[in-house]
């Protein structure tokens, strides 16, 4: 077949046309670029600057707070708030309506605060709101009308694991552009051990970048909060995002002096007594004698009828009249000045003594009083009249010398505690306040009135007695950590090297021993067969302002302060209870009993038995009973005891069953947003599980949980109180 000749002219013409089109496009692009750069440049620069915000602070992750035994007491967790943007570019109504029912069902399963029908209704309401806005915008409505791109999906917050599940739900798994789902990330402060030492650990203002509010969170805020980074804020698809330019520096960690086991013992024992007495509030603090480390501190106040919680740090901030515990300081001053001897006689008569126009009474006045006693017995009997007469005889003509003696001990010194808002002892001197010094001031001050002393000061004084006269500052923090390594180790600080002579100290310690261990001592309820306790009771009427002092249990503060074991003291402790409604106000029967339980449990847990005296009981099972709870804790103990067990756990919660001399460890289901089953758990694990679920816990008894007031599997209502019974 003959080939047609090539038409070069036609090819050249087509090439020219194509080239011309490309040239025109290039010229148009260059022209548009020139207009944008030179004519509209200022406009677009302004638009860009409005969309970009430089030097945006990027919050640092707040450091953690640990107990002395390494348990996490305060930490920062990520949380997410869920929103839907119904103006998202890829969101289509037909797709939304196709998936809304299965989506709502899945949301209800994971977040049961709403029913599936409620989720469906809420999401459709959001879409209708978007349609209404679209109509208004189309019809040229007020130009101030803005597209609402932040429709809150769920009022609660979710954690990261929940968010991962939500992103895999029907419709949402299509991505943010097609589903409109987006989140706002923030951090929140949580306390894994709930109320344990809560007021001392402290709180923060809202989110962690706003700083500490009280307690150690405030005292060490500059270290905990770290160093914020720097970012650039941008507005993308109607939402603000931050691009990090300089990374933030995580805050340092704090290791407190709190011992979780001692704290648990102290809080549980005090809480039980407050419920028994129906008291307004109570405080208990345990201090390590040699170092001054606070091993436990609990401050419980009545939140509502039948419920107590950490409301205020009474131990460090409460300025109240200490009552009879202060008699020990008065006796120490008089003995040290050589103006009183332990066996000096004092006649307290029938228990009523009139002085300065007022009646001064002893607690046994209705039984005829103590008659003639000695100085040492005025402490053992806690005689107001005995101590007042001795101090009046010694310092009546020179009360300033008595106050100087109290200052010599250290009561006027600022302890400079690590807890913000702490109170300072107020003991006035006649030369500084002559207008308020009356004839009755000296005798009433001698047995604990007309002074204001926080419980922590009284404890510091008794701790010095136990510490051979050396007064040390109470410590709440042991170490500062950076990246898991010790950055700073706190040192013991001495407030007063020697509060009195060894001779005086010996007499005082004998008196405190007799208060508890003599058959007629007022502290007899604190006597223990396990550990020898020394201390002093205190019972004081609470002033009602202009009304003065009122009789009756509702207006009393009772206390007991002391140390144990008496011979070689390791711990000191103070217990204070305010306004008990049940029973006759008594520092011995009320606070002494609490002190005894705390001391016995601490002592028993720290005893090291001689293996030679331990015999194997062949009747005992080879494997011990293991409570349900957190596996890691039980695993440590079982490994140490060489317990034969097998486990096939997928989670962190466990239950144990005995089969053929072997423990079988199995999963114990603790579902999110449902009340967990804590029956069979110990107190610590049960409280942790329940408070992690958002419940407030009211526990009674000891041992393992036998019953709970809300059935397991019930949907959690945040803040609801659940009662658990241990036995």
Give the three-state DSSP class for 484: coil
Q: What is the dihedral of CA 223, 229, 235, 240, to 10 degrees?
A: -20
- 184: exposed, middle or buried (C-beta count within 10 Å: 0-12, 13-18, 19+)? middle
Nearest to 393 by CA among 452, 325, 328, 346: 346
Quote the tokens at residue 221.
């805020």
The helix (run of H) or strand (run of E) holding residue 7 is none
Nearest to 158 by CA among 146, 149, 167: 167
- What whole-number percentage of the chain has pLDDT above 90? 36
Report whether 83 contacts 239 (CB < 8 A): no
The mean pLDDT value for 299-309 works out to 86
- 574 forms beta bridges with 285, 561
The mean pLDDT value for 338-356 works out to 92
Quote the tokens at residue 376.
């040492």
pLDDT in tens, 407-463: 999 999 999 998 888 999 999 999 887 788 888 999 999 999 989 999 999 999 999
pLDDT in tens, 266-301: 999 999 999 999 999 999 999 999 999 999 999 988
Please provide the DSSP assignment of 183-227 as one string: EEEEEEEE-TTTTTTHHHH--BSSSGGG-B-SHHHHHTHHHHT-B
| pLDDT for 608 | 44
- Greater model confidence, 406 or 640: 406
pLDDT in tens, 191-239: 877 777 787 888 887 655 567 878 888 888 888 888 877 877 666 555 5
Nearest to 405 by CA among 366, 445, 368: 445
């Amino acid at each position: 077949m003959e080939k047609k000749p090539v038409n070069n002219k036609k090819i050249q013409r087509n090439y020219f046309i194509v080239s011309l089109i490309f040239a025109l496009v290039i010229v148009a692009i260059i022209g548009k670029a020139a207009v944008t750069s030179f004519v509209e440049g200022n406009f677009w620069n302004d638009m860009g600057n409005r969309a970009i915000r430089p030097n945006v602070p990027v919050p640092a992750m707040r450091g953690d707070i640990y107990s002395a035994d390494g348990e996490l007491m305060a930490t920062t967790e990520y949380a997410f708030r869920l929103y839907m943007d119904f103006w998202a570019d890829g969101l289509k109504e037909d797709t939304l309506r196709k998936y809304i029912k299965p989506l709502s069902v899945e949301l209800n399963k994971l977040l049961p605060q709403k029913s599936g029908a409620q989720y469906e209704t809420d999401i459709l309401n959001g879409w209708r709101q978007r349609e209404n806005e679209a109509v208004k915008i189309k019809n040229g409505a007020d130009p101030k009308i803005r597209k609402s791109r932040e429709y809150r999906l769920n009022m609660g917050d979710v954690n990261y694991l929940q968010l991962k599940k939500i992103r895999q739900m029907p419709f949402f798994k299509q991505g943010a552009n097609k589903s409109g789902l987006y989140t706002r990330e923030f951090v929140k402060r949580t306390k894994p051990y709930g109320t344990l030492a809560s007021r001392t650990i402290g709180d923060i203002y809202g989110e962690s970048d706003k700083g500490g509010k009280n307690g150690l969170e405030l005292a060490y805020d500059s270290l905990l909060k770290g160093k914020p980074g720097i970012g650039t804020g941008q507005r993308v698809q109607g939402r603000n995002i931050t691009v990090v330019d300089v990374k933030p520096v995580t805050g340092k960690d704090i290791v407190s002096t709190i011992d979780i086991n001692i704290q648990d013992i102290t809080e549980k024992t005090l809480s039980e007594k407050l419920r028994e007495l129906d008291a307004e509030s109570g405080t208990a603090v345990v201090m390590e004698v040699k170092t001054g480390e606070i091993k436990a501190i609990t401050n419980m106040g009545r939140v509502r009828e039948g419920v107590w919680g950490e409301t205020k740090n009474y131990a460090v901030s409460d300025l109240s009249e200490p009552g009879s515990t202060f008699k020990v300081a008065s006796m120490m001053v008089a003995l040290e000045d050589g103006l009183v001897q332990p066996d000096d006689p004092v006649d307290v008569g029938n228990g009523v003594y009139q002085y300065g126009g007022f009646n001064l009474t002893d607690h046994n006045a209705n039984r005829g009083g103590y008659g003639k006693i000695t100085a040492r017995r005025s402490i053992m009997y806690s005689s107001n009249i005995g101590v007042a007469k001795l101090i009046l005889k010694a310092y009546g003509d020179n009360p300033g010398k008595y106050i100087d003696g109290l200052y010599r001990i250290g009561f006027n010194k600022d302890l400079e505690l690590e807890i913000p808002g702490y109170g300072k002892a107020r003991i006035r001197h006649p030369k500084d306040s002559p207008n308020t010094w009356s004839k009755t001031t000296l005798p009433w001050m001698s047995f604990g009135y007309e002074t204001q002393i926080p419980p922590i000061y009284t404890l510091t004084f008794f701790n010095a007695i136990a510490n051979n006269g050396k007064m040390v500052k109470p410590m709440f923090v042991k170490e500062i950590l950076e990246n898991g390594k010790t950055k700073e180790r706190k040192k013991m600080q001495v407030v007063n090297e020697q509060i009195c002579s060894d001779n005086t100290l010996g007499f005082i310690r004998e008196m405190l021993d007799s208060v508890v261990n003599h058959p007629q001592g007022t502290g007899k309820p604190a006597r223990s067969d396990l550990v020898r306790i020394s201390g002093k009771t205190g019972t004081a009427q609470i002033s009602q302002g202009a009304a003065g002092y009122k009789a009756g249990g509702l207006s009393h503060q009772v206390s007991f302060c002391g140390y144990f074991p008496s011979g070689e003291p390791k711990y000191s402790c103070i217990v204070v209870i305010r306004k008990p409604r049940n029973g006759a106000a008594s520092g011995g029967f009320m606070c002494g009993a609490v002190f005894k339980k705390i001391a016995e449990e601490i002592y028993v847990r720290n005893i090291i038995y001689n293996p030679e005296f331990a015999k194997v009981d062949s009747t005992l099972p080879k494997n011990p009973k293991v409570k349900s709870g957190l596996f890691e804790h039980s695993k440590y103990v079982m490994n140490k005891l060489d317990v034969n067990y097998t486990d096939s756990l997928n989670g962190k919660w466990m239950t144990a069953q005995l089969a053929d001399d072997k423990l079988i460890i199995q999963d114990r289901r603790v579902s999110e947003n449902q009340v967990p089953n804590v029956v069979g758990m110990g107190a610590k694990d049960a409280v942790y599980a329940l408070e992690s679920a958002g419940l407030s816990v009211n526990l009674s008894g000891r041992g393992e949980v036998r019953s709970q007031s809300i059935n397991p599997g019930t949907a959690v209502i945040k803040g609801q109180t659940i009662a658990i019974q241990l036995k």
